[in-house]
Structure 1
């Protein structure tokens, strides 16, 4: 894809000279934010980062056509951070080897030993009551868990750091596929189904998280074999029983559509 404007000749030389001059970098940063209405009043807008870091991110984005490199400098989010944090794409289980969500209970609904402290006591009582009263659904499991989202930014020295944001305790609903089902299929088509149901989830339960993929402790990428919907207590506890019912309908509907797509691709 071509760029909007012709690229300047000898751009790298220009950039290198500017980067050696902190005052020039600061002027460039100030000019950028002066062109954005109310940027100075926007918390976390990037105005507090050093001019040298801002300029380096801008030039790196220009040279490599890497928008994320620049966005991280001005809003602490990569392109995909923005999508995930806008609830526009699902989150992979244990993406890049980082456990997310963190399970606080076992398959029988018991609080794991390492989490038996007062921080979880009240929430666990609520969870356990719901766990005991849940409907019997094949290949389905309910957990109490900690879930979070991420953003990325630069340190003053220009290094990339990952930060956990919006960490909440809640209820995780897991929708697995029968072991007899072979998932060697078109992953793009399955992702399209997951995305459609994510949009339904946001319409019904705004700020619920949807996870997909295989829970892999080593962070390996595999085909979608598990779906998850996470309901933070902070947003959903006042009507949690009803919210779980809605989430189950969406999760089960998504699983059925994926199974139908599997059968279609297999010619059944």
Structure 2
């Protein structure tokens, strides 16, 4: 895709001269935010970063056609941070090696660290009651967990930093595909199914998180593809049983559609 305007010649030379002058960088930053009247009123909108960091991100984005580099400077979100934090795309389990969500209970519904029981006492009582009363569903597991979202920005030295935001304790519902099913098929089609059901989830349970992918358990990759729906207590505690019922319907429906797609493409679904 071509750019809207012709690219300036010797742009790198111009940018280098500006970056050598902190006052020029600050003036560039101020001009940008003056064009966005509401920016000064928005905390964390990028107005507090040094002009040199702002200018470097702007020029880097221009030279490399890297929108995320600039977005991180002005709103502390990469392109995909914006999509994930708007609940428009699902999250991968343990993306980039960072455990998320963090499981607090084991497969029997017991706290993994009993010493933390006092921290979760009220929430754990609710979770354990629901866990004991849950219906038996094949290839399904319920956990109490901590989940979070992320955004990215720059330090005052221009280094990229990752921040965890919206950290909540909640109930994680895991929908595994049978281990006999191999999903090394058209991944775009699988993703399209997951996305459709994510939209249903947001219609029914706004601010619930959906995870997908292969969950690394005890450092070992398993062949089982997994879907996850995370319901933070903060948003869903009041009617948790009903909310879990709704989430289960969406998660099971998504899994069924994926299995049907696997069967359609390979004819090997058992």
Report the counterpart of residue 26 of structure 1 in structure 2. 26
* Structure 2 Cα separation of the partners of residues 136 and 252 of structure 1: 13
Report the counterpart of residue 259 of structure 1 in structure 2. 259
Report the counterpart of residue 87 of structure 2 in structure 1. 87
Question: In the alignment, is residue 103 of structure 1 matched against residue 116 of structure 2?
Answer: no
* Structure 2 Cα separation of the partners of residues 76 and 222 of structure 1: 34
* Structure 2 Cα separation of the partners of residues 221 and 261 of structure 1: 23
Q: Over residues 179-233 of structure 1, what are the superposed CA-to-partner deviations in whole Å (9 max), with x where a residue is unaligned?
A: 1112221111100000000000000000000000011269999988000000000
Assess, with a 3 A threshold, how the Cα gap between structure 1 residues 218 and 140 changes in structure 2: closer, same or farther: closer
Report the counterpart of residue 120 of structure 1 in structure 2. 120
Report the counterpart of residue 149 of structure 2 in structure 1. 149
- TM-score, length of structure 2 as denominator length: 0.96
* Structure 2 Cα separation of the partners of residues 139 and 130 of structure 1: 18
Report the counterpart of residue 198 of structure 2 in structure 1. 198
> Structure 1: which 5+ runs fail to align?
none
Of 206-215 and 217-226, deviating more is 217-226
Report the counterpart of residue 228 of structure 1 in structure 2. 228
Match of 1:99, SS state, is coil
Match of 1:17, SS state, is helix
* Structure 1 Cα separation of the partners of residues 79 and 219 of structure 2: 21
- Displacement of 1:37: 2.0
* Structure 2 Cα separation of the partners of residues 221 and 203 of structure 1: 33
Q: Do the aligned residues in 2 keep the contact of 1:95 with 1:219 (CA within 8 Å)?
A: no
Instruction: Give the aligned length.
Output: 268
Assess, with a 3 A threshold, how the Cα gap between structure 1 residues 114 and 4 changes in structure 2: closer, same or farther: farther
Of 105-114 and 193-202, deviating more is 105-114
* Structure 2 Cα separation of the partners of residues 213 and 9 of structure 1: 45
Match of 1:110, SS state, is coil
Assess, with a 3 A threshold, how the Cα gap between structure 1 residues 140 and 237 changes in structure 2: closer, same or farther: same
Q: Do the aligned residues in 2 keep the contact of 1:184 with 1:223 (CA within 8 Å)?
A: no
* Structure 1 Cα separation of the partners of residues 72 and 224 of structure 2: 29
* Structure 2 Cα separation of the partners of residues 51 and 221 of structure 1: 44
Q: Do the aligned residues in 2 keep the contact of 1:97 with 1:220 (CA within 8 Å)?
A: no
- Displacement of 1:267: 4.2
Question: In the alignment, is residue 66 of structure 1 matched against residue 66 of structure 2?
Answer: yes
* Structure 2 Cα separation of the partners of residues 248 and 43 of structure 1: 37
Match of 2:120, SS state, is helix
Which stretches of structure 1, 4 residues or more, deviate above 4 A after TM superposition? 217-224
* Structure 2 Cα separation of the partners of residues 118 and 62 of structure 1: 51
Question: In the alignment, is residue 178 of structure 1 matched against residue 178 of structure 2?
Answer: yes
Assess, with a 3 A threshold, how the Cα gap between structure 1 residues 224 and 45 changes in structure 2: closer, same or farther: farther
Match of 1:117, SS state, is helix
Q: Do the aligned residues in 1 keep the contact of 2:197 with 2:254 (CA within 8 Å)?
A: yes
* Structure 1 Cα separation of the partners of residues 221 and 28 of structure 2: 40
Report the counterpart of residue 243 of structure 1 in structure 2. 243
